[in-house]
Amino acid sequence: MQPEPSPYSGRVERLRAGLAQADALLILDPKNIRYLTGFTGSDGALMIGADWVVLLADGRYVTQARSEAPGTEIFEFRRRVDGVAALTRQHALGRIDFESAALSVEEYLRLLEALAGVDVRPLSDGLKSLRAVKTEHEVAKIGEAARIAKEALAAVLTMVRPGVRETDIAVELDYRMRCGGAEQVSFETIVASGPNAALPHATPGSRVIEPGDCLMVDFGAVYEGYHSDETCTYCVGRADSRQREVYGLVLAAHDLAIGAIRAGVACGEIDRVVRNCLERAGLADHFSHGTGHGVGLDVHEEPRLARGREEILQAGMVVTVEPGVYLPGLWGIRIEDTVLVTEEGCRILTQTPKDLTIL
Amino acid sequence: MQPEPSPYSGRVERLRAGLAQADALLILDPKNIRYLTGFTGSDGALMIGADWVVLLADGRYVTQARSEAPGTEIFEFRRRVDGVAALTRQHALGRIDFESAALSVEEYLRLLEALAGVDVRPLSDGLKSLRAVKTEHEVAKIGEAARIAKEALAAVLTMVRPGVRETDIAVELDYRMRCGGAEQVSFETIVASGPNAALPHATPGSRVIEPGDCLMVDFGAVYEGYHSDETCTYCVGRADSRQREVYGLVLAAHDLAIGAIRAGVACGEIDRVVRNCLERAGLADHFSHGTGHGVGLDVHEEPRLARGREEILQAGMVVTVEPGVYLPGLWGIRIEDTVLVTEEGCRILTQTPKDLTIL
């Protein structure tokens, strides 16, 4: 792979093409600001006009902004709304389209007050897909994150045995990912055993692993800003026939979905494949979330693989496939991989084997 | 201390007293939902009427909600807006006041559409102070978080020497806090050396510590949902006369602020004490953020100790005091403690000594 040329001006150009009738776009999601400038601070704003770009940062972040976004003009604000208002006056803007998913109503009402007379409109959904199709450099970063995560999990699995607490495994897994080069973990790692595995978003706690448990581990690493996302479910000591049956069913749904993914297919279709598979076994009611989501600078981003979603998969999108069956009070099984959509199908980026494994 | 009686109904009552003319309050900040019900999920809503309370949760969180908030009615939604709309019809609500800081404009516009004909208004600022005054049980949790953080830092300081990377110290510190009982770290730990310490919000990176560096460590632990927040700045190997002078100045500002804190004093007054102290040394321009903030279920909450803030400190508030001086390209020094406001003064909850220490 060639070294990555600076991608920022090309991304801004692509966004500008959708500027529509607005005099300027106001970008507020920190991940979009990073994608468009390189600035990684958690507070800021980006204004994009027809022939100018200004990154707004507060005093805590100005030095960092200059260093991370050397090609972009920096404007320092004390209150973000005041910074936007100052630039609006300076450029005599008549209409600003803003990122409505990334602005609170509280700040919006202040903004309307500060911009009296200016036409302020929520950006249409177009921006949501800004980051959906990845370059090979972005895919490589996700792949490296997945590699770090896989190595860490492999090292930690040796400590899984009855008597160990969920939280001890989670702490060790996070530590190993970071020692292995993850700048952060993708999200709060889920290590859920026994009935806790029936909670799709369980927080690891003091529960001690018991023989016969399902042990669900949902985890990911962040590498150069890019996330991995993967779920492995194990059986501890033994697997009963119902666990084996459901594991096989969830794995079948997972494999069918991965087999169905390719450029040109609607996102909702992948979800339908999973749901139909679980439905045939009478377990669709125990699958309480969508089939997958995009992964990149955010661990959850566009597109969404969920019921009725009409967006069409494109080559270069990176999405999770994560069917699950949750039996409240008993146990749960989820199997998740992150895949790169290609013209012919997909390539799996996460690397831990998904066959039923008894630890 | 007596065991903690369930605090939730009392908190809801206190909030209800501010219901004003609304038929219901719509609470959206996950930390406020936790404070009012015990539910710790990251997505949900809480509706509070004159004689009813309903916690709305999506499918992923319903089982958890039932377990964490046993005294509260649970309503399952697929789209949050639809859940709010269904309850609005069920209770024939004419006016709903909502948390405007915790709702995106995108969802707000959908809500207005779903609630056509209903009077939907942003809650006044009153809610911001809902959690500001802590009970002794809350203070004890913050204190325990601070203790875990202190122990972890003490263990990690032994590894600080020239040649060690910032990120290695941060990873080890986070690991030790979690091994010591922190359910999470309070925020992305800052370990910043040399010129990086001049960036108030630096992210730990691959920079290697050098003799003569200032080393800034800003860190905290979370215990039962409650955060600690503390910053220590060390000199590595030696401290030159300018570093000693500025360290003494920042410590003096810190001590003056702590000496000024007591119930009845305005928050802005504490900030003024710090700024005046730095001003006399000609360094106020190098202090680019506020003096402090409340700490509790969030690491940043009310009240804010910043320029011009008129809110009055009350006994039971827990706030940080964190003056700093940042010399771009050279180094920075910040000294931060978290303190409990009392009638007579304050009690320092963070526990690492703040005298100049050369490692």
Query: Over its length of 359 residues, how does chain A's per-residue pLDDT go in tens digits?
Result: 677 778 999 999 988 886 678 999 999 999 999 999 999 998 899 999 999 999 999 877 888 899 899 989 999 998 999 999 999 999 999 999 999 999 999 999 999 999 999 999 998 766 878 999 999 999 999 999 999 999 999 999 999 999 999 999 999 999 999 999 999 999 999 999 999 999 877 788 889 999 999 999 999 999 999 999 999 999 999 999 999 999 999 999 999 999 999 999 999 999 999 999 999 999 999 998 999 999 999 999 999 999 999 999 999 999 999 999 999 899 999 999 999 999 999 999 999 999 999 99
The ipTM is: 0.90
Beta-carbon separation of A63 and B105 below 8 A: no
CB contact under 8 A, B122 and A102: no
Task: Please give the Cα distance from B37 to B197 (Å, whole number).
Answer: 40
What percentage of chain B carries pLDDT values higher than 90?
86
Contact B60 A104 (CB under 8 A): no
Give me the mean pLDDT over the B15-43 stretch: 90
- pLDDT given for residue B126 in this prediction: 63
Closest C-alpha to B221, from B168, B191, B180, B167? B180
- Give the gap in angstroms from C-alpha A345 to the nearest C-alpha of chain B: 30
Closest residue, chain B, to A187 (C-alpha): B184
Secondary element (H or E) of residue A334: strand A331-334
C-alpha B120/C-alpha A105 separation (Å) is 12
Alpha-carbon distance of B316 to A79, in angstroms, equals 29
Q: Is the dihedral of CA B37, B40, B41, B42 positive or negative?
A: positive
Token pair recorded at residue B10: 């009392």
Quick one: tokens of B221? 């632990």
- How confident is the model over B224-235, as pLDDT tens digits? 999 999 999 999
Measured in degrees and rounded to the nearest 5, phi and psi for residue B281 equal: -95, 5
Q: Best residue in B61, B79, B104, B300 to probe A by mutation, most A CBs within 10 Å?
A: B104
Helix (H) or strand (E) holding B10: helix B8-16
Q: What is the DSSP letter of A101?
A: G
For residue A106, the chain B residues in CB contact (below 8 A) are: 100-101, 122
The closest CB to that of B105, out of A61, A122, A289, belongs to A122
The CATH number of the domain covering residues in A136-348: 3.90.230.10
- State whether A59 and B201 contact (CB < 8 Å): no
CB < 8 Å to B179, chain A: 171
**Among B182, B132, B53, CA closest to B341:** B132
Decide if pLDDT at B64 tops 90.
no
Residues in chain B, overall count: 359
Model pLDDT, residue A340: 98
**pLDDT tens track for B180-201:** 999 999 999 999 999 999 987 7
Which of A26, A62, A63, A190 should one mutate to test binding to chain B, selecting the residue with the greatest count of B CBs within 10 A?
A: A63
B106/A105 Cβ within 8 A: no
Are residues B21 and B120 in contact, defined by beta-carbon separation less than 8 angstroms? no
Note whether B199 contacts A108, CB cutoff 8 Å. Answer: no
Of the candidates B311, B359, B310, B319, the one whose C-alpha atom is nearest the C-alpha of residue B342 is: B319
Query: What per-residue confidence (pLDDT) applies to B241?
Result: 97
In B123-279, which ranges are E strands? 184-185, 190-193, 214-219, 221-223, 226-227, 230-235
Say if CB B87 and CB A222 are below 8 A apart: no
Q: What is the pLDDT of residues B30-39, one digit of tens each?
A: 999 999 999 9
Looking at B116-186, list the stretches that DSSP marks H as alpha helix, in order from N- to C-terminal side. 136-157, 166-179
Judge if B8-129 and B136-348 fold alike in CATH terms: no
Q: What is the pLDDT of residue B287?
A: 95
Contact B304, B293 (CB under 8 A): yes
For the record, the structure tokens of B223 come out as 């215990």
B224 Rama class: left (phi>0) / alpha (psi -120 to 50) / beta = left
Distances (CA, A) of B174 to A182, A185, A314, B37: 13, 12, 39, 29
- Of B126 and B316, more confident: B316
pTM recorded for the entire structure: 0.92
| pLDDT at residue A202, rounded to an integer | 79
Q: Which CATH superfamily is domain A8-129 in?
A: Creatinase/prolidase N-terminal domain (3.40.350.10)
B64, B188, B201: residue with CB nearest A199: B64
The candidate with the shortest Cα–Cα distance to B24, out of B80, B114, B93, is B93
CA quadruple B89, B90, B93, B96: dihedral sign: negative
Collapsing DSSP states into helix, strand and coil, what is residue A27?
strand
Nearest neighbour of A201 by CB, restricted to B41, B105, B328: B41
Q: Is A39 within 8 Å of A112 (Cβ atoms)? A: no
Distance between CA A324 and CA A326 in Å, rounded?
A: 7
Best of A67, A104, A327 to disrupt the B interface by mutation (most B CBs within 10 Å)?
A104
What is the predicted pLDDT for the residue at B60? 78
- Cβ–Cβ < 8 Å for A310, A267: yes
Instruction: Quote the tokens at residue A203.
Output: 């927080």
Cα–Cα dist B154/B238, whole Å: 19
Minimal C-alpha gap between B103 and chain A (Å): 5
**Extents of the domains making up chain A:** 8-129, 136-348
B100 vs A109: CB contact, 8 Å cut-off? yes
pLDDT tens profile B153-187? 999 999 999 999 999 999 999 999 999 999 999 99
Q: Which residues of B touch A (CB under 8 A)?
A: 40-42, 59-64, 98, 100-109, 122, 167, 171, 174-175, 178-179, 183-184, 188, 198-203, 288-289, 328
Measured between alpha carbons, how far is A194 from A198 in angstroms, rounded to an integer? 8
Contact A200 B167 (CB under 8 A): no
- In degrees rounded to 5, what are phi and psi of residue A14? -60, -40
Query: What amino acid is encoded at B47 in this protein?
Result: M
Q: Which residues of A touch B (CB under 8 A)?
A: 40-42, 59-64, 98, 100-109, 122, 167, 171, 174-175, 178-179, 183-184, 188, 198-203, 288-289, 328
Q: Å from A40 to nearest chain B CA?
A: 9
* Nearest chain B residue to A202, by CA: B64
Residues of chain B found within 8 Å of residue A308, distances taken between Cβ atoms: none
Question: Cα separation of A164 and B3, whole Å?
Answer: 28
B137: pLDDT strictly greater than 70: yes
Among the partner residues A104, A171, A200, nearest to B103 by beta-carbon distance:
A104
pLDDT band at B358; cut points 50, 70, 90: very high
